Amino acid sequence: MFENYRVFETTLAGRPLKVETGKMAQLSNGSCMVRYGDTSILCNVTASPKPRDGVDFFPLSVDYEEKLYAVGHIPGSFQRREGRPTEKAILTSRVIDRPIRPLFPKDMRNDVSIVCTVMSVDPDCPPETTAMIGASIAISISDIPWDGPISGVVVGLVDGEYVINPTAEQEKKSEMHVTVASTADLVAMIEAGANEIDNDTMFDGIMAGHAANQQIVEFIKGIQAEIGKEKFAFTSNDPDPVMYEAIKDFAIEDVRAALDTDDKLVRDERLIPVYDAVHAKFDEQYPDDVAKIDECLYKLQKYVVRRWLLDDGKRVDGRGINEIRPLAAEVDLLPRVHGSGMFTRGQTQVLTTVTLGSADDAQLLDGLDDETEKRYMHHYNFPSYSVGETKPSRGPGRREIGHGALAERALVPVLPSREDFPYTMRLVSEVLSSNGSTSQASICGSTLALMAAGVPIKAPVAGISCGLVSEGDRFMTMVDIQGLEDFFGDMDFKVGGTHKGITAIQMDLKVHGLTPAIIREALDKTYKARLYILDEIMLKAIPAVREELSPYAPKMISTKIDVDKIRDVIGKGGSVIQKIQADCACDISIEEDGTVFISAINTENAKRALAVIETIAKDPEVGAIYKGRVTRLMAFGAFVEIAPGKEGLVHISKLDVKRVEKVEDIVTIGDEILVKVVEIDEQGRINLSRRDALIQVDGLEPEAPAAEPARPASRQGGFRRRDNRRED
């Protein structure tokens, strides 16, 4: 039945990699099932037979679909089925997209869709890079024009040794998680998170990943040679060269004059009459290609900018090649938030706020890995006004999610542990103005906001980007690229880190890949720029982390109790913990290991709740003093609750330092009084003394004791003798 069924096998990082074709999804342009260990991913690519009308870009979509049956889970949603993609799935789609997109013909306008469906997950065999390899194979064997293949691996650093595709256990100990994609010769994509790794270690790790990729690229080429289809022909969407040259001759000097400014608004204003003049002259000459005239003008701007950079060493805004735009850093812009910081670089400006919450505010996750919650969230918003446009907000798109994740990844390595700082943290970066590298500005703004909020980060983090213009073997890099240099350049190499080392990298390319020399130069340039931003700008705005939290931030206390006591603290149906929260105006979260987090608007309430919990969790000791509440009055004394479910008797003779005639003369029900534990009998009954507590705490002198009246035998000691139980 499956005449074209083929199986290809190799190994990757010591684990079997198997590719099956010709059995499933045979109506796709290209399809394969990739099995890496027990990870199984079905990858399909399809293309429309005709170009899409009215677009001036290559319409590629990449979707990484997580199916929870892959890890034996039923979705937690109301409908019990997968809904919109998780943030991790979106980020993986972007990681797959970035090395693949530049290898398609830039003048093709046929829709291309790549879908990677995760059907089984082995925690020791990463599905993300398996999907990248599968997508590469599916496109390579299809009839869709593409200048691949590529391969991708994860590089870890465990005990000082590089590990390709580390296992789940190795990941826990790894100092970095670097995803590297490569063509046969070049590094096509880098996505990294690291614990302050120095440039040399990072560079060598990237090269280790590149070497592993080259073996898989050769494996894919073998599959393509054996079963690959002939690539189809497509209609080029490039403008007519004659039309382009005519427009170039007519408008090049005006374009140069328009672009030669450091102000984006001035540049856009200057280009309007240039566009009008070109259309006035050429619309009638090319009535069927009016839309292509704008493409010619875009291509002309690109030509001017690239020639300035490569031939003259000139940047659009007049800066030096390694010069950073004017910088500014501020904190405490918003009085009521828990922390705020704004970072400005030229016409790029980002304001970040910090909100601190309790452990219960952590984000719950329902994905394919073992991560079930996040205590640190970074959200990035890119409103249309930041680029001077009028477009309604429709929630975060893939770009916003990607940039927020990059800033989050850059800051995670310097955050305090949960034990040291038991807060949930949400950062929101609002892009107020954008002219290049807003993601890196959000890293800087977030560091400022965290320090202003009093979050004890290990070190400040800054971010900066490096651009590239290349032509054959010639290339030049420039630090801190602005919008035009990003649009018309070949690379956006973003690096975040501390004085000590790198915490995050994200590399976007418009060319097939980078040589080791370019990567090395980009790392060196971003390091120098990062130190300048930290020392000369950020640390002058706020030299150190604030010692105290904002008065509007919740106050958090944590403790640890015996696991066997968790039930007592929670109480039947949650009655005890709910009462503590109501009485102390606080939120309490208890984890399975007995860790207790208490959050309150002021420290006093949190300490009160802590005292109650510790009283419940720890058996009362003779000599300990508690603040208790009077619950019942008897002729012979008062019953006092020192913690929910724990009650003791204060005998009338122990109610005060002076003689007491009637219990009601000293206390009433509901009073809160200090009491001292004077005895715990063999049956666990607690005898308390207010008298001893007053003497010890307030230093009061007791009256000489008077002879006590005789009491009935059944009432001696405040207990009924019947059944050896207290009166209730």
d(CA 637, CA 650): 6
370 — phi, psi (to 5°)?
A: -85, -5
Res 716: pLDDT: 40
Give yes or no for residue 422 having a pLDDT over 90. Answer: no
Overall average pLDDT of the 524-548 stretch:
96
E strands within 52-137? 60-66, 110-120
pLDDT tens-place string over residues 153-211: 999 999 999 999 999 999 999 999 999 999 999 999 999 999 999 999 999 999 999 99
Nearest alpha-carbon partner for 487 in 299, 650, 649, 626: 299
pLDDT tens-place string over residues 211-229: 999 999 999 999 999 999 9
pLDDT tens-place string over residues 374-416: 999 999 999 999 988 888 888 888 999 999 999 999 999 999 9
Overall average pLDDT of the 363-367 stretch:
82
Res 76: pLDDT: 80
Nearest alpha-carbon partner for 693 in 635, 642, 617, 618: 642
Chain CA centroid to CA 252, Å: 44
Res 625: pLDDT: 87
Give yes or no for residue 717 having a pLDDT over 50. Answer: no
pLDDT tens-place string over residues 610-667: 988 888 888 788 888 888 889 999 999 999 988 777 889 999 999 998 888 899 989 9
Overall average pLDDT of the 522-551 stretch:
96
pLDDT tens-place string over residues 12-49: 999 999 999 999 999 999 999 999 999 999 999 999 99
Which residue(s) pair with 662 in the sheet? none
Q: Is 184 exposed, middle or buried (0-12, 13-18, 19+ CB in 10 A)?
A: middle
How much is the mean pLDDT over the chain? 91
Res 723: pLDDT: 41
Res 408: pLDDT: 95
Give yes or no for residue 709 having a pLDDT over 80. Answer: no
pLDDT tens-place string over residues 274-319: 999 999 999 989 988 888 899 999 999 999 999 999 999 999 888 9
Reported as a pLDDT band with limits 50, 70 and 90, residue 720 is: very low
Tally of CB atoms within 10 A around 244: 19
d(CA 696, CA 593): 36
| Collapsed DSSP state (helix, strand, coil) of residue 690 | helix
For each of the domains in the chain, give its residue range(s) and CATH number, in order of start: 6-227 (3.30.230.70), 241-312 (1.10.10), 327-541 (3.30.230.70), 555-617 (3.30.1370.10), 625-724 (2.40.50.140)
617 — phi, psi (to 5°)?
A: -75, -25
Q: Spell 305-333 as b/e; 16+ CB within 10 A means b.
A: bbebbeeeebbbbebeeeebbebebbbbe
Q: Which residues contact 452 (CB under 8 A, 6 or more apart)?
A: 331, 332, 339, 340, 341, 354, 542, 546
d(CA 568, CA 571): 5
Higher pLDDT, 516 or 56: 516
Overall average pLDDT of the 555-584 stretch:
89
Res 715: pLDDT: 39
Give yes or no for residue 327 having a pLDDT over 80. Answer: yes
Give me the residue label for tokens 């170009």.
Answer: 51
Q: Is 288 exposed, middle or buried (0-12, 13-18, 19+ CB in 10 A)?
A: exposed
Res 702: pLDDT: 63
Overall average pLDDT of the 537-550 stretch:
95
Q: Compute CA distances 197 → 58, 229, 378, 497, whole Å.
A: 37, 44, 22, 9
d(CA 98, CA 399): 12
Per the structure block, which two tokens stand in for 674?
């200090």
Reported as a pLDDT band with limits 50, 70 and 90, residue 718 is: very low
